Amino acid sequence: MFWIYGGAFVNGEGSLSVYNGTNLVNISQGRVIMVNLNYRMNAFGFLASEQFGGDPSKITAWGESAGAISIGYLLLANNRRERLFQQGIMISGSVLSQQCQPYKEYQNSHDTLLNMTGCATDVDSLECLRQLNASTLLEAANAGYGRNLLRFYPVVDGHLIREVCSTALINGQFSKIPIIIGTNNSEGTVFVTSYGYQNQSQLATCLKRANPGLTNSSIQEILTLYSETPKYPNLPYPEFVRTANIYVARDYQDVVPVWKYHFNVINPHVLFLGAYHTSDLIYDFDQSTGLSGDAAVLANTMASYYSSFTVSGNPNTYKYAGAIEWSQFQNRTNYTQIVYQVGNATTESDTFLEQKCQFWDSISEQLMH
């Protein structure tokens, strides 16, 4: 299993204790090799790694947030002519969570970084950036990102990624491998509180800045559709990447085996955030030493599904004793997904967001600009 951590392509590190895969490897009885890596982020570039042991014909790419989005991009790589890994696990992210665009769409970020580093007036601005002290470049990059002036995302470069990601998905231009994909129940709450949005007016401004093609009527419709948190009426409804992941799962399930999940475990110390983005990680990595009772059982169960999927291509083959059978996400089973919750994992039909999916379908052209 090859873990790619999240962090919005801006920050993160593979050595965080929450990413310790020891228990997950143990629960696989030695059948899984766990690899954590660091990769260059924000203005410093893309990922790099050294070779590692194991069977190169049995690699499972596993990532969360930006890590999951990276897996989605790699499934589209070179118009799927290369199969870079044999299975994928995408947690709280997909190729549609942050739409890849042609590089010209990010020219403004490049120009802004030049201005912030004093390289804008240099004859060779790229060489100027290369000659900067790393701390100077990092300070400028972080400051620009924090003020929403800079965007660091993979782009359609004509080589690795040949076309806009949503188009590639519709055309079936992705590697045909088994995948696990899913989201937390309240992905977006932690972002709303950390970004400081106090009301829907501020959120509307942010939506327009991030998606210039959105019409005012579409923005109002978004605010209406995502205003269902009754206890905290000024927070937008916390779904974040859930609708995007539904689209990806439905596109994939037509041609490859897909297992979908819905994580709904609430941290008792921050009840108002619900099952927020990243709150599942201690369960994904079976950090059961910090859990007890039913929570520890759930962590064992989730880790056993993922390790079984890595070994056999099916999460049920070596699942934890007593764990329920995880059905594939298919039309004929009415889009059944597993629900991770303390007490017992159950199954449900993933059709409750149908109205929102239809809305995003109707404005898809506005999101391309």
Per-residue pLDDT, averaged over 28-33, amounts to: 87
Least confident of 7-16, 159-168, 305-314: 159-168
Domain boundaries of the chain, sorted by first residue:
2-99+160-186+240-362, 102-146, 189-237
> What is residue 101's three-state secondary structure?
strand
Catalytic residue among 28, 65, 109, 218: 65
* Structure tokens, 41: 């982020």
The dihedrals phi and psi of 189, each to the nearest 5 degrees, come to: -60, -40
Cβ 296 vs Cβ 288: under 8 Å: yes
Q: Report whether CATH 3.40.190.10 matches the domain 2-99+160-186+240-362.
A: no
Active site residue 97: no
Structure confidence at residue 234 (pLDDT): 40
Q: For residue 197, what pLDDT band results from cuts at 50, 70 and 90? A: low
The mean predicted confidence, pLDDT, of the chain is 80
Q: For residue 80, what pLDDT band results from cuts at 50, 70 and 90? A: low
Map tokens 């100027």 to a residue: 128
Map tokens 């327009």 to a residue: 208
Of the chain, the percentage scoring pLDDT greater than 70 comes to 82
Task: Give 325-358 pLDDT, tens digit per residue.
Answer: 998 887 655 677 888 888 777 887 776 667 777 7
Residue 304 has pLDDT above 50, yes or no: yes
Cβ 61 vs Cβ 88: under 8 Å: yes
Q: How far apart are CA 134 and CA 143, in angstroms?
A: 14
Task: Give 33-50 pLDDT, tens digit per residue.
Answer: 888 888 877 777 644 445
Map tokens 């014909």 to a residue: 57
